[in-house]
Structure 1
Amino acid sequence: LEIRTGFEITGANQVGGEYTECQGSMGIRCMYWGQRVSRVVPDSYFLNYSSTKCFVSSNAWVVCQFAKDPCAEHLLAVGDENGFIHFLDAREDVITNSISADRSCVIDVSFVANRPNNLISISGHAKVTSWDIERQLALQQFLGHEGSVRALSVSDDNPDLFATGARDGTICIWDQREPQAAVVRPFNLLKNTHPLLAPERQSIGTKRRSRMSVSMSSKGITSLVHYGGNTLISASSSFKTGIRFWDLRYRGKNSPFRILEDPNSSSTRDFGIASICLDRFSSSLFVASTDSKIYQYSIQGLNNTPVGILQGVKRTSFNTYDFRIAASSTSDHVMFGGGDCFAVIWDLQEKYSNSNKGKLKHLPYPKYTLGGHRYE
């Protein structure tokens, strides 16, 4: 699941701390203030858009991602449930080549920044592989997980580093800078990353007392994202374990330096987290919870509770942890792909441009619905 608004800015002028305006290639007005660029994307961009062609496969698609390099952003990698990765040229609507990655389902893929020919994939058999796309060749295998690998994040600030998370709660940090090594071991291993506080009863005389103890088993990792060059953010199948921040500069340290709180902490029911993503400025973290809400956290401040909530996703859309949330890299839009054959998009532009929250027209509900799919 990816969201892109392909608007090019033809020019900009900035004088001191004041803003100036410029005209984009599609007539979009852009306001510049300091280093924060606000691209106003009109409704017509979404309302006039339609997919010209549909790729149909007998195997169910599981994950997709566009290449990160600007010179190859037309390239789309799609993984299916039978272990194949297909590469599509969006300009010509053709599949350029395919790779047999595993005998099991491809869980996630990620292009490597500044290396348009390099792709990382994870699959259900604890298999983590680095691929040469052009030669359709496996460059390296990364061994270290014992359970099913469920999450992947490649650092854009340091393309040699990436992280994977497994169902047993283990996070492996990998380094690709061993070109001669066909098999690579993790250089940093985080275990029991999301333990859950559970009540433990003890008998004292004739009375029974309850206290909270830390469960020895961790909840499974469901989503990872790099924040800057040295921080990794992790989420799990238990929201009560929080969203955890890890400093990757300290090897062997198994304690997060920050934990974002569960907004439903007073509830006896423990919801999970399906997916997390950062906005284009890396100032907000969006969290897709299985309670059918999207929570927004301001991670540049000290507040560990949500600052906003997006709604409008049906509860049936969260019947598994396979659904993804994505934020546009060029505008203030958030997309979620659910289980009811639709993808929905929230337009946060009205929130950021309207000081009177009582006049919001669509938020906290999605503004656009993208149809065309027959299945989840």
Structure 2
Amino acid sequence: MTFDPQAFRAEFPILSREVYGKPLRYLDNAASVQKPRVVVDKLTELMTHSYANVHRGLHALSNEATTAYEQARESARAYLNAASPDEVIFTAGGTDGFNLAGNALGQHAIGEGDEIILTVMEHHSNIVPWHFLRERKGAVLKWLDVDEDGNVDLDAYRALFTDRTRLVAVTHQSNVLGAYTPLGEMARIAHEHDALILADGCQATVHGPVDVQALGVDLYVATGHKLYGPSGIGLLYGRKALLDSLPPFKGGGEMIDQVTKENVTYNVAPHRFEAGTPPILEAIGLGTALDFIAAQDVEGLRAHEDALTGHAIEALSALNFVTVYGRQEGKGPVVAFNIDGAHPHDVATILDRQGVAVRAGHHCCQPLMERLGVSATARASFAAYNTHEEVEALADACRKAKDLLG
């Protein structure tokens, strides 16, 4: 197989539109990626042909929907290389996955004085649920610093562990710096100290399948809207033995075994964590998106994204008024930057008028902004459908912004 960026791009209808009379250059993929035609068509087909509730009905439409829904779970299992579909929980998104894990672990495994290790480059979704346990259960949060490129010092990481450490919650790839953590080694060290490890895979999974078994993580979170799928859907992987030991997060239909006036017993995993009518269309759409990515020349896809990232860093660094944050070797396709003397929001607004869509703000990473000594950055982030012409358009738009902002 050979990855063809133009053929891949042609699968995304929205990329042919204009904004403000200019071609759309969509460089906000770390926030959410666009949707391929195969996902759009699948959702339309479901809504016009095969929609019904799942698991409950005995009629034809329910059976068809249930089969498609569980096939999507199998697609997710394969994409993550989980040992069983029973290790894949459908959630309402990445944030919902973190909160599910936090609630269940808070009921079962984390109490007063127990320690949770985080890095300073975590997304707020992988910080706030642990603050809940700090506030409500008396848990202790311990913070691992990173260098300016997002690299982790494993000796400093080891030094944080005590006999009260229960959990490590760490990103697989930073949504600001693009930096990858040494996740497999961090998992091994956590297990040496009898601690669990949860990984935020919301950025890393976009660039091709991951192997949760090889990584050795206990829990792994991903979100559909960054995976070329719909919003309102996500994945929480958990080792089967761990999931079987955890209490449910939400109560309602599907997650029960028996309900009486006096008692309730719960379904097995993953169903005990999927209360009520699930996001049926969204889950099937996500399964379609995962199959779409997995069918690509993944190594070629990643190589194209790497080339775009290198091009962007080189092009922006050549502008003597731009500061680029994060230069880890092999980083993901995320480039955070600032223009000297300009607020990132003003920069993003001017770039938008040039047809270049980027993000601006703290990117839900305020501890990392503090570490970098800034309040916010602009951020260009690339997907496999982006082009080198769009990188040049980004640099040209930054020159325009500097001219206008002084």
Hey, which of these two has a bigger chunk of helix by percent? 2
User: TM-score, normalized by length of structure 1?
Assistant: 0.26
TM-score (norm 2): 0.25
Larger relative contact order (C-alpha < 8 A, sep ≥ 6)?
2
